[in-house]
Amino acid sequence: MTEQKKKQKKWSLQYRPGNAEVDAAIADLAAETDLSKIMAQLLYVRGYHTAKEVRAFFNQETACLHDPYLMRDIAPAVERISLALERGEKIAIYGDYDVDGVTSVSLLYLYLTEHGGDVGYYIPSRMREGYGLSKPAIDRLKACGVDLMITVDTGVTAIEETAYAKSLGIDTVITDHHECRPELPDACAVVNPHRADDAYPFKELAGVGVVFKLICAFEMAECRKAGLSEMEGVERVCREYADLVAIGTIADVMPVTDENRLIITLGLHLLEHTDRPGLRALIEAASGSKQSNGSKYVKKRKINSGFIGFTVAPRMNAAGRVSEASIAVELLLAENEKDAERLAEQLCELNVTRQTEENRIAEQAYKKIEQTLNPDDRVIVIDDDSWQQGIIGIVSSRITERYGLPSILISFDGSAQGTPMQNDVGKGSGRSIKGMNLVEALMDSEELLVRFGGHELAAGLSILRCNIDAFRRKINRYAARHLSDDMLCVSIDADCEVSIHDLSMSLAQEIAAMEPFGISNPVPNFVLRDARVLRVIPMGNGKHSKLIVEKDGVEMTAVWFGVTPAQMDFELGDTVDMLFQLNINEYQNITSLQMLVQDMRISETYERDYNAQISRYEEIRGGAEYTENEAVLPCRDDLAVVYTALRREFRAGHTVFPMKRLLSMLRNGGAGHINYIKLKFMIRIMQELQICDITEPVPDTYLFEFQYQTTKTNIEKSSILRKLKSQQRK
């Protein structure tokens, strides 16, 4: 596979002016709500068409907590758990090793111990045991005297394992939010809004959200017994536990709509002043640094969904990826500051280890893809014996983003004993794109898999080494039926175009009021056209870039995370189009406005003009007349400017120049009046008069060699120049 597979990202603009009816509705919306024109545009394209709808969005009037008893099997789940508490039975919470699973375990553990339960928890080792329930794990629970097992964020496909637990005398209550198969486990209760027979009005709860609804139902039942209002119980659960539910919901990238939006809002409010020692320590460890005297300096961070998703959650996830998820549970359950700080530092260290390993695997994966991928494949399936199983899911996300294709990475790390064998079992993790439900795609290959499960866009699997080639062929046949060519590109949604004068602190504050952000309520993306790049400054040890751009006399600072100056496809002085988010930067008590670049490319206007200049050059070279206003005819001063600039570059060791780079260099040197056509003719004149050695190894790329000259060249001797003069229309 070659580099051309990494296609230019497609910008999907949600609002374009020109529809008179829509433009009038947006203007009315801005006037009625006292919002800026830009804010009215982006709210309108997101479906908020009236002032009432806009106010409801900001006030969260449409967000509500649905009755948990609408969820199938939640009543028998409450009854069985109540019975276990009454009898003093030993309860085990069986969870997943990601943040959703960790917060689910912690939430239910805290709630049941508060109610006097004899409770323990079990999270399988990702490396040793893999995802979900297993018979050896159930054996261990039986040996510990467990009577009731409650699964959280897992279990809905564990038919054999649930039956095995039942044969040992262990009852099971399953709470999950993953896709269900037609057959459900034979458990006391299977609580999952994705059940085909479930009428719950909101299906997009995280695993921790399902646990939240379970304890709301439990609390409502307790209130009924005590003669209290059911809502008192729900409100208490929100006050006590919304922080954990918010973290798990954000980390699992669930839609920020309906009751998720309300839960996350309540949770973020709790996190601003959290009473949990573990969360407080992790926020401080992730935000602060050590001063030179050894004391701890903690930078006050705004606790929003971005901070949770990109700073807190990865550290919690690192435990399950490169060590044991129980470390993150211990942090959430910590009762004293000393233990909390120790565990928080441990999670931060594990996260650094995770980042290093992730980058190593990613580089190896990219090489495998470039060397082996069939150009007709629509799903990338690659495997390796040494990749750490806890990391491949993140790398799969990077690959899908990079190539615009679904990807599945399979690791045999720890499964191969000595020489690889065909019956080795590999663990896989995959990510998909819009248009291909990954779980349904895996169902199509079910006979080739040991097990699988997950969501529409992310799933896990186990597979024998001998079946990988057949699996790769079959899932690609499935993808060929379900993914059109238009789907196979990396697309970025942008809300609307803006002028640089639209970018203000007040607009940034309006955007901040749209929190919490996430799926279905993303951070707004804007497009700015035809900005000029003035400066590019490396940041973060060269890993990131800071840019100064200018448009219409206004300069702005932009930050491009994860992109180095060397990776940019443009030069200083170039005109670019930018897709970005507007951000308020707070540094050393100074507040400023900045753009967070999501993508950047040479301006469409510049590209259009450049291509037009190429066509016009060919016409003039073929003998067509031109006007003086076209600025085609070079003078001696023009040639002197180009010669001086090239000679300076030659002395610095630079000899090869594409035309676009030459034009940028001249523009930065104050010779912006020299256009493509004039420069092409000047290069031909310099070749003709042997002012320097010029070759063109590939079209529009020139190699220059200079020899020392003592005599001046008379450019009037050039036949090219004389012919060009004769073509100028009088």
Query: Within a 10 A sphere around the Cβ of 262, how many other Cβ atoms?
Result: 19
pLDDT in tens, 571-618: 888 899 999 999 998 877 788 999 999 999 999 999 999 999 999 999
Q: How far apart are CA 429 and CA 443, in angstroms?
A: 15
CB-CB contact of 596 with 581 (8 Å): yes
Scan for tokens 């349904």, then name that residue. 440
Number of residues that this document lists for the chain: 730
Q: Residue 34 above 60 pLDDT?
A: yes
CA distance 268 to 284: 16
Nearest Cα residue to 329 out of 391, 247, 240, 273: 247
**Residue 213 is encoded by which pair of tokens?**
């609804």
For residue 538, whether the previous peptide bond is cis, meaning omega lies within 30 degrees of 0, is no
Instruction: Give pTM, 2 decimals.
Output: 0.82
Strand partners, 532: 550, 575
pLDDT for 297: 46
Per-residue pLDDT at 375: 87
Q: Is residue 232 classed as helix, strand or coil in its secondary structure?
A: helix
Using pLDDT thresholds of 50, 70 and 90, give the confidence band for residue 4: very low
Please name the residues in contact with 283: beta carbons below 8 A apart, sequence gap of 6 or more.
Answer: 271, 274, 301, 303, 312
CA distance 316 to 512: 26
CATH fold of the domain at 373-482:
Diaminopimelate Epimerase; Chain A, domain 1 (3.10.310)
Task: Give me 534's structure tokens.
Answer: 């003035």
Under CATH, which number does the domain 606-726 receive? Answer: 1.10.10
Would you say domain 3-62+492-602 falls under CATH 3.30.70.120?
no
- Paired with 75 in beta bridges are none
Q: What is the reported pLDDT for 503?
A: 96
User: Coil, helix or strand for 134?
Assistant: coil
| Residue 706: how many other CB atoms lie within 10 Å | 15
Contact 605, 576 (CB under 8 A): no
Q: How far apart are CA 519 and CA 575, in angstroms?
A: 32
The pLDDT of residue 610 is 93
Domain boundaries, the chain: 3-62+492-602, 68-241, 277-355, 373-482, 606-726
Per-residue model confidence (pLDDT) at position 294: 47
Backbone φ and ψ for 87, nearest 5 degrees, come out as -85, -10
- Read off the pLDDT band of 2 (50, 70, 90): very low
Q: Which residues of 625-636 are buried (b: 16+ CB within 10 A; e: fewer)?
A: ebeeebebbbee
Q: How far apart are CA 194 and CA 256, in angstroms?
A: 18
What pLDDT band is residue 296 in, cutting at 50, 70 and 90?
low
Among 382-396, 399-413, 586-600, 699-713, where is mean pLDDT lowest? 699-713
Q: Which amino acid is residue 467, in one-letter code?
A: N
Amino acid at 712: K
Q: What is the pLDDT at residue 709?
A: 62
Question: What architecture (CATH level 2) is domain 68-241?
Answer: Alpha-Beta Complex (3.90)
